Amino acid sequence: MVLRIVDVLDSDSPQASLTAEGWVQTVRTSGSVTFFEIGDGSTIRHLQAVADASMAGYADLVHTPTGAAVRCKGDLVASPAKGQQWELHLTDMEILGSVDSDYPLQKKRHSFEFLRTIAHVRPRARTFQAVFRVRHALQMAVHRFFDDRGFIQVHTPIITASDCEGAGQMFRVTTLNMADPPRKDGAIDYSKDFFGREASLTVSGQLEGEIFALAFKNIYTFGPTFRAENSNTARHAAEFWMIEPEMAFCDLAGDRAVAESFIKSIVTDILERCGDDIDFFNEWIEKGLRDKLESLVKAEFETVPYTEAVSLLEKSGQRFEYPVKWGLDLQSEHERYLTEQLLKKPMFVVDYPRDIKAFYMRVNDDEQTVAAMDLLVPRVGEIIGGSQREERIEMLDAQLRHFNLNPDDYWWYRDLRRFGGVAHAGFGLGFERMLMYVTGMQNIRDVVPFARTPGSAEF
């Protein structure tokens, strides 16, 4: 079997006649010796393969272009070069796939904006190799956390008829001929559509997650979610992945405790398993990243009620673009001020005004606020949104009326309150936002393999 390059580099002894495969990252000739850096995506480090002029075919190999796919054979020996333990003394190198001259990843560094336009070769760029390795490791860490604690993963539907967040930002799913749809009383007749009703891509798996929490106690979802919000920011995507745990017999304090240990656990995992990549981000993307992640694991997250957050902002003397006033939602500039300037660590803002949050959140005794929590972190802002759910049927109905929603549309959600309903709570972590936090990457488009944002779905 051909070893992965990470295993070659981590070898504990020299090895005779070893084979490695990968893509040529750089070629450098010095006197009668040529050095090839070979990468295969298994690690940020490259294998240095060395050819000398006596090797068969040397004259041609010297012209191997960057990006070529190669199979190298040789002896792994201790390297005299600094910063690497081993190098491969080539006995043979076969070019399996050559490279046309318009290959866009030649030596020079490209901007992230440019690389987005070539998403078919972007994964070969060093930064993106690191990003997508960490993306993989992060999702494994998520599953490990919940599996270790007995949470059941639920595959909630991607096509749905309910608007969980009630924000009307859904992508419609239809097989009707939109050039000439069936009509009834002037409006489009969705009873003739595929599902016999209007359907959309889900914005959240929460409502279905609640069904399973009230059967299995502790569950989580991890799936794609879709939002047609036309906000062209560095933190919003139209298609993103969300992790949504839901716990029965749990209140807001319990919810917060799970969220805090969850975030700490997945960061610990990444520090342990992706050390090389974190060092790379620390050097090239966000200075101080490693310290930030290491101190997060030890920090105690703050909890600040919304009302207090608003008065902290009012007293701050800062000039904000958007107004700060009790009853208005916090904007990202406010969130970032609180977590970056004021507290300088992750913080939960809890107990938001009822009117600016979703209908399902549990109404507090003051009847003005709900048992909501957002987790804010420096640089990224909100990464988690969650709440205790309204388990009292009368209160739930009052909330539905309050938000002008039709209780009949929520018949099964209401039933859950009548059939052994119990206090329960959960939250949603935006997977890409978490990845931005962990890698220091500043734009959500650069942590998604193929970003879907307003006006953009080329790949």
Residue 299 CB, nearest approach to ligand 4AD (Å) = 19
Q: Where are the alpha helices (DSSP H) in 189-339?
A: 206-216, 252-273, 275-284, 289-298, 306-315, 332-336
CB of 238 to ligand 4AD, least distance (A): 7
Task: List CB contacts of 138: < 8 A, sequence separation 6 or more.
Answer: 266, 269, 270, 431, 434, 435, 438
**Least distance from ligand 4AD to the Cβ atom of residue 159, Å:** 17
Beta carbon nearer to Mg ion, 130 or 242:
242
Binding-site partner at residue 260 among ligand 4AD, Mg ion, none, CB < 5 to 8 Å by type: none
Identify the DSSP state of 326: T
Distances (CA, A) of 348 to 302, 320, 345, 364, 381: 6, 21, 10, 17, 11
Residue 333 CB, shortest distance to ligand 4AD, in Å, is 17
Cα–Cα dist 60/80, whole Å: 26
In this structure, are residues 332 and 235 in contact, taking their beta carbons and an 8 Å threshold? yes
Q: State the nearest-atom distance from the C-beta of 26 to ligand 4AD, in Å.
A: 35
Which listed option, Mg ion, ligand 4AD, none, makes contact with residue 240 (CB within 5 to 8 Å by class)? ligand 4AD
- Residue list 375-434, contact with Mg ion (CB under 5 A): 385
**Nearer of residues 36 and 240 to ligand 4AD, judged by Cβ:** 240
213 binds, among ligand 4AD, Mg ion, none (CB under 5 to 8 A by kind): none
By rule CB under 5 A, what count of residues binds Mg ion?
1
Quick check: 255 and 387 in contact, CB under 8 A? yes
Q: How far apart are CA 104 and CA 116, in angstroms?
A: 12
Both tokens assigned to 156:
């909630």
CB-wise, 87 or 374, nearer to ligand 4AD?
A: 374
Residue among 44 and 376 whose Cβ is closer to ligand 4AD:
376
Q: Is 321 helix (H, G, I), strand (E, B) or coil?
A: coil
Residues 363, 364, 365, 366, CA torsion sign: negative
HEC-encoded secondary structure of 45-99: CCEEEEEECCCCCHHHHCCCCCCCEEEEEEEEEECCCCCCCEEEEEEEEEEEECC
Least separation in angstroms between residue 258's CB and ligand 4AD is: 12
Q: Which does 55 bind (CB under 5 to 8 A by kind): Mg ion, ligand 4AD, none?
A: none
Task: Return residues touching ligand 4AD (CB under 6 A).
Answer: 164-165, 204, 206, 227, 229, 236-237, 240, 242, 244, 382-387, 426-428, 430, 432-433, 444
For the CB of residue 389, give the shortest distance to ligand 4AD in the complex, in Å.
Answer: 8
C-beta closer to ligand 4AD: residue 193 or 382: 382
Binding mask 290-309 for Mg ion (x = CB under 5 A): --------------------
Pick between residue 193 and residue 374 the one whose CB is nearest to Mg ion. Answer: 374
